[in-house]
Structure 1
Amino acid sequence: MSKLYWVLIGLILPVLQTSASEIDPPRPLSLKTVQIPEPPDLHQYIRDKPMAIALGKALFWDMQVGSDNIVACATCHFHAGADSRSKNQVNPGTHALSDAQRREFDLGSNMQLTASHFPLRVLTDPDDRASPAVFSSDDVISSQGIASYEFLRVLPSRPVEQLRRQTDQDGFSVNRINVRRVEPRNTPTVINAIFNYRNFYDGRAQYEFNGVNNWGDRDPNAHLYRAESATRVEPVRISIEQASLASQAVAAAVNDFELSASDRPFPMIGRKMLVARPLAQQQVHPQDSVLRKYSRWPQPGLALPDYAEMVRHAFQPEWWQSDQQIRLLPGGHSEICHRARPIAQQGCYTLMEFNFSLFFGLAIQLYEATLVADDTPYDRFMEGDSTAISEAAIRGVDIFRSQTRGRCINCHEGAELTGAAVSQVQASPVRIREGQAFDRGYNNIGVRPATSDLALGQTDPFGTPLSYTKQLYAAPVCPDGHSCPVVADGFFKVPGLRNVELTAPYFHNGGELTLRGVLDVYSRGGNFAQLTERDGSSIMLLNILHLSEQEKLDLEAWLLSLTDERVRYRRAPFDHPQIFVPNGHPGDTEKIDKQVAGTAADHMVEMPAVGEEGAYPMPGFLESDM
């Protein structure tokens, strides 16, 4: 969205007051009433949309994408779009402002989590947020990705990377043996994420996709090349709107907590993957809803020679067809290679390799856009089936929308059940509540102090606040004519609620194990009696609801009515190829039983391939040794 749009918001800001009204808003509509966002200029890039979706599904589930040929995007999103693993899933709080805090585990690397570790903040009086804490940890329960490696090169004409083990600077080791690094925030589900205006908990995956990274129009150097002829390519800047999932996908691929060895440039991912047979290590079910026509069942992989073949069919040729080569330079710059020498000797890339971030991001977005869970009992209830949900669930949704009791709907807005949705942000991107201005769809609900993780309060690499409100307004004008301070520290994206039954643990730190625990937090108005910005100014606390036992039961009944059974049973479009996921390492927090060259051996768990008819439900978090 252009800066002009955000400037114009300043003219209407006084009408965006969002203090509670005594009139209850209507029940949220069925998600089927919301159009799935899609880039308006998609045809400029996509040649064959079904093939692009197939490419996206293959890339999302393919273990070859990770530098170690083990970690895929799906490694952290295999269970209801989220992660149900429970060993080596602890991060010490690497986003904390305190240097000492960032590497200090309360629970430990390679910990096998149990129910006894939850919640991560235990109060003397669970109904009083101001009561002393019996236990309080700034650890985060999240997802293990890759171990600490330095990227060296991709082996010639082979989908294999040469890596060098490096000492883990963030403490992910046991007795100097590296274990897999764990991300600093709990993994949100990718299901229904297509509706988000921005992605990641801190919103850094921008609405506009620049084809290169997650920073959208913020990055002045991001550029691709487009072929003007077979022998001439030109650098171009692009800005694809409604594409924050593409922004998110390319960020994960080069993140050294998730998929990548350090300093792996995206064109090198292209060099590796373009010669790889898609899903070469994994079986694809012969009834896969997207990939069935390419399945080699029971042999692994797709019946396509390599990813280059899929790119050629899926994308317009001006983005990949050229004899010209491009060299990547420091600082995001590049130049055209003119000498007729082998590509590798010049550090040059083909056009298809250089633009691989475009293909990767858009293809994965198009696949994830199919992962829409809009057939829950509640959706059917709002479509006219009065028997679809229980009386308790009906009472629950009415508490949810009540302006005198739950008030949940004030943040979990619309049919998407989040103010962070495209439709909500485009309607009014800034909220003003009780004299404070902030980005719509983001909130600080007092799970942890803002100093544990600034989230939306951070700045991007170009020195600009992540918060759009803070970026454009030093002091917005409130409806009463006075200046409204902008708050952003510790503000996280408000998640949607469908399938929440299946995505424990909860909150950005994974600090609550159960839905009942979540409701207890809201009932007492958070975990802390005071929240502050870095400058010491106060952040408004949640309302203390003092929910009754019956109200909590009713709210939970409604939350359970938001489960789409296609997700639970992995029916199309939620079916998937086979994948092997690492679930911690042999040993415990004190010793590692097996290692290879200074890195802990993995305990691998297989998820067999599932076709469009689905399969048995996978165990949830702590429901098995996952």
Structure 2
Amino acid sequence: MVVAGQTVSAQLTGPAVSTPLTSLKTVRIPEPDNINDFIRNKAEAIALGKTLFWDVQVGSDGVQSCASCHFHAGADNRSENQIHPGADNNFNTGGRPNYQLAIGDYPFHKLADPNNRASTVMADSNDVTGSQGVHLTKFNDIIPGSPQDNVTVQPDPVFNVQNVNVRQVTGRNAPSVINAVFNDRNFWDGRAQSIFNGVNPFGSRDPNAFVLKSTRKQQPPQEVKISLNNSSLASQAVGPPLSSVEESGTNRILPDVGQKFNPKLKSNKLSREIGKKLKSLRPLGQQLIHPEDSVLGKLSRWPNQGIKDKSYEAMVQDAFKPEWWDSQYIVKIGDDGKRRYIRQPQGPRATDEFSMMDYNFSLFMGLAIQMYESTLVSDEAPIDKFLEGNSNALTAQQKLGLEIFQNKGKCINCHGGAEFTNASVRNVNKEKIERMTMGNDKVAVYDNGFYNIGVRPTQEDIGVGDVDPFGKPLSLTKLTQETVALGKILPPIIKASPGENISDAPLSPYERAAVDGAFKTPGLRNIDLTAPYFHNGGALTLRQVVDFYNRGGDFHEENIDNLDADIENLNLTEQEKDALVAFMRTLTDERVRLGRAPFDHPQLFIPNGHQGNQNSVINDGTGKARDELVEIPAVGRNGGEPLPNFLGN
């Protein structure tokens, strides 16, 4: 049986052990079953995806790209103006925006004794180390031929210094996009669905999502609903460009999670605007591409900026089948949201007129970026070599850490398999929903791979316990319970969590769901490079992470009703902690550290705070603070100098 595109039926089986660790080379890269219905040339799609991912022209300000928050081991190492004030909008860390973070700010929850969660709390902050995005602006229109959109600066009541707007910061820490292809769902709260609808992150949850398909050139295109499985990366990729915090002015945005859709807001409006804008610009026209780039080198104009001899329009045509972009009709959208299909007029199009390629740009962007990110697989770490049979790949200390990881530390219970996460496609496809005894010793059901571990009090951010834009639970568990209660499906059989002495039984719509405050388990590969840690970015070092788990979390008692039962005192010795940290460092692929193929990339200029400090900034004349830009140099297939880790410099 299917709920929101997810098959939730289960086989009755006996208790199983945690998914064993293996080399990542043993895992097939997930791919949609029907991908060939859309893509005509995978190599061209990967090139388009890499271009779109790194191109700063995608953002409303001509500065912000997808890569702006995912340039360092797939994550973010910036440390100035990286604080979100949390639910209370009060900046506890640094006092104001544009603060330069320091080592002493971490961990956000400081205890007199790091081994004892009941010891005196020396400091506590509900702030989040996020990623800075765009200034708060209102989108008016694109400017043909310009990487910047026509926007109006809006007074920002939160992200300002002396009433001068600084860049907004996301409310969660940016996870790595490397190996994200193995996640069944993406984003910390799992809202990027494994089913891609071609329009937005919400898959089959959105009943109104459709794209255009041309069957006969002489006739208007058809409005069709599509569904691509194993595509949470595509669902994720079309989210940030829609966000007025991350990349866009506010008029280009879809309603955020928790709001209802306004029927007058066309669900892929942003993608149409981006598509129209990019068609008039040289791909990567503001950035250098290394001549030995593993994907884009043959297209490089080095030492000039951008891609040669190819427009975005040509790149889409080379990558995708013509029925998704080739039509003699354009779409004209009235103020009431209604669509009319008319023959392509001569000359430039009006603001409310879009070609079929413009209209379907969310489809192209999502699938192309997914194709590119699917190549970002780090399967050459020391742990892979060890699991392939090279016993010398790990030191004696690291082998001790591996033993602790799999046993006393209980890490493998959530970070299992070659992917080092239970939220993987392989693991979740075995069972979407599990039944387990929670921290309060009471049985509950929950989304497999999503756990409340006591990082912060549950109600500060309820994660997968929240709702989608249609008022439905983000949690597949709660959504299935609602669907069963309405009599729309038979209750699926839900297995007990591995090792639990609980009977498998049909899911009851009335049994307790422990999903509030639960977040997707991140993969641990390259974790040595991706500080700060947790969904709130509240830990700086791997040792702080190990201390957190060793003491049974920070808000163990407060979160007990939803807490994962494995979050308890571990009683690790100092030697065992050191060994566990040493083991986690074996998960780093040196190609990632050095930016070698497939992790090489174009040049990027990233905003790293603003000229001034948290007390004073320089107004650029429009009400926005002047950026401090940092160059991330272009590197080719052989990589370059490693970037410093977060607060590493």
For normalisation by structure 1, the TM-score amounts to 0.92
User: Given the superposition, is the C-alpha separation of residues 284 and 532 from structure 1 closer, same or farther in structure 2, using an over 3 Å criterion?
Assistant: same
Q: Which residue of 1 aligns with 2:629?
A: 604
SS of corresponding position for 2:445: strand
Stretch moving more, 468-477 or 155-164: 468-477
C-alpha separation in 2, matches of 1:332 and 1:452: 37
Cα offsets for 1:1-21 (capped at 9, x unmatched): 932985752x65x75868xx7
Cα–Cα, structure 1 residues 380 and 516, in superposed 2: closer, same or farther, change >3 Å?
same
Question: One-letter code of the match for 1:360?
Answer: M
The 5 A counterparts of 1:507-526 are 507-526=534-553
Deviation at 1:398, TM superposition (A): 1.2
Inter-partner Cα distance in structure 2 for 1:577 and 1:339: 36
Say if 2:138 and 2:153, in contact at 8 Å, map to a contact too.
Answer: yes
- The equivalent residue for 2:156 is 168
Deviations 1:546-601 (A, max 9, x none): 21111111111110111100001110000011111110001111111343311000
- Once residues 7 and 46 of structure 1 are traced to their aligned partners in structure 2, the CA distance between those partners, rounded to angstroms, is 25
The answer on whether the counterparts of 2:132 and 2:168 sit within 8 Å (CA) in structure 1 is yes
Q: CA deviation at 1:132?
A: 3.6
Find the partner of 2:388 among 373, 383, 390.
Answer: 383
Counterpart among 295, 308, 311 of residue 303 in structure 1: 308
Q: Secondary structure at the match of 1:573?
A: coil
Q: Conserved in 2, the CA contact under 8 Å of 1:91 and 1:184? A: yes
Q: 1:345 aligns to what SS in structure 2?
A: coil
Q: Which residue of 2 is the match for residue 251 of structure 1? A: 239
- Which stretches of structure 1, 4 residues or more, deviate above 3 A after TM superposition? 4-8, 14-18, 102-106, 156-160, 327-335, 337-346, 474-484, 537-541
The one-letter amino acid of 2:300's match is S
Distance in 2 between residues matched to 1:538 and 1:365, nearest whole Å: 33
Between the aligned partners of 2:582 and 2:160, the Cα distance in structure 1 is 42
- Give secondary structure in 1 for the equivalent of 2:350: helix
C-alpha displacement of 1:341: 8.0
8 Å CA contact 2:106–2:539 kept in 1: the answer is: yes
- Supply the distance in 1 between the matched residues of 2:366 and 2:4 (Cα, whole angstroms): 26
Output aligned runs, 1:337-348, within 5 Å. 337=342, 344-345=349-350, 347-348=352-353
1:246-271 C-alpha deviation (Å, 9 max, x unpaired): 11110111111111111212200110
Rate the CA distance shift 1:4–1:509 in 2: closer, same or farther, 3 A.
closer
In terms of mean alpha carbon deviation, does 299-308 or 51-60 score higher?
A: 299-308
For residues 330 and 119 of structure 1, the distance between their equivalents in structure 2, rounded to whole angstroms, comes to 50
User: Pairwise mapping of residues 176-325 of structure 1 onto structure 2 (< 5 A)?
Assistant: 176-231=163-218, 232-264=220-252, 265-325=270-330
1:283 and 1:7 mapped to 2: Cα distance?
Answer: 45
Residues 39-438 of structure 1: matches in 2 within 5 Å?
Answer: 39-93=32-86, 96=87, 101-107=88-94, 108-156=96-144, 158-169=146-157, 171-231=158-218, 232-264=220-252, 265-328=270-333, 334-337=339-342, 344-345=349-350, 347-402=352-407, 405-434=408-437, 435-438=443-446
Separation in structure 2 between the aligned mates of residue 241 and residue 143 of structure 1, nearest angstrom: 29
Within 2, Cα distance between the matches of 1:61 and 1:540? Answer: 38
Are 1:207 and 1:216, in contact at CA under 8 Å, matched by a contact in 2? yes
Give, in angstroms, the shift of residue 473 of structure 1.
2.4
Structure 1 contact 62–72 (Cα < 8 Å) conserved: yes
User: Of 527, 543, 546, which aligns to 1:500?
Assistant: 527
SS for the counterpart of 1:135 is strand
RMSD of aligned alpha carbons: 2.2
Cα distance change, pair 568–367 in 1 and its aligned pair in 2 (3 A): same
Change in Cα spacing, 1:127 to 1:159, as seen in structure 2 (3 Å) is: closer
Query: Counterparts of 2:568 and 2:312 in 1: how far apart (Å)?
Result: 52
Q: For the structure 1 residues 27 and 238, does the alpha-carbon distance in structure 2 shift closer, same or farther, using more than 3 Å as the test?
A: closer
Render the CA deviation track for 1:184-213: whole Å, top value 9, x for unaligned: 000100000000000000000010110000
For residue 532 of structure 1, report the CA deviation from its aligned partner.
Answer: 4.0
Maintained 8 Å contact 1:159/1:275: no
State the alpha-carbon separation in 1 of the partners of residues 5 and 85 from structure 2.
39
State the 1:125 CA deviation.
Answer: 2.6
Instruction: Tell me which of 581, 584, 593 is aligned to 1:559.
Output: 584
How does 1:467-546 map onto structure 2 within 5 Å? 467-473=475-481, 479-480=502-503, 484-532=511-559, 537=561, 539-540=563-564, 542-546=567-571
Q: Report if aligned partners of 2:93, 2:105 keep a CA contact under 8 Å in 1.
A: no
The number of residues matched between the two structures is: 605
Shift of 1:158: 4.5
Q: CA contact under 8 A between 1:531 and 1:540: conserved in structure 2? A: no
Return closer, same or farther for 1:103/1:334 CA change in 2, 3 Å cut-off. farther
Give the secondary-structure state (helix, strand or coil) at the position aligned to 2:569: coil
> What percent of counterpart residues are identical?
46
Alpha-carbon shift at residue 336 of structure 1 (Å): 2.7
Distance in 1 between the 2:20 and 2:579 partners?
A: 15
> Cα distance 1:510–1:47, how it changes in 2: closer, same or farther (>3 A)?
same
Q: Is the contact between residue 586 and residue 594 of structure 1 (CA under 8 Å) also seen in structure 2?
A: no
Deviation larger for 335-344 or 457-466: 335-344
Give me the whole-angstrom Cα distance separating, in 2, the residues matched to 1:601 and 1:302.
Answer: 29
- Asked if 2 retains the 8 angstrom alpha-carbon contact of 1:16 and 1:428, the reply is no
CA distance in 2, matches of 1:621, 1:456: 27
In structure 2, list runs of 5 or more residues that go unmatched: 253-269, 438-442, 486-490, 497-501
Give the conservation status (yes or no) of the 8 Å contact 2:188–2:520.
yes
State the SS of the aligned residue for 1:326.
strand
| CA deviation after TM superposition for structure 1 residue 58, in Å | 0.7
For the pair 1:445 / 2:453, whether they are aligned, the reply is yes
Q: Distance in 2 between matches of 1:539 and 1:556?
A: 24
Residue 150 of structure 1: how far off its partner (Å): 0.5
Which residue does 2:3 correspond to in 1?
3
**How far off is 1:444 after superposition?**
0.7
CA contact (8 A) 1:277 1:304 kept: no
Secondary structure (helix, strand or coil) at the match of 2:575 reads: helix
Q: Distance in 2 between matches of 1:600 and 1:574?
A: 32
Q: Is the 8 A contact 2:198 2:226 kept in 1?
A: yes
Distance in 2, Cα, partners of 1:538 & 1:223: 37
Shift of 1:168: 1.6
Distance 2:170 2:387 in 1: 37
Alignment partner, residue 266 of structure 2: none
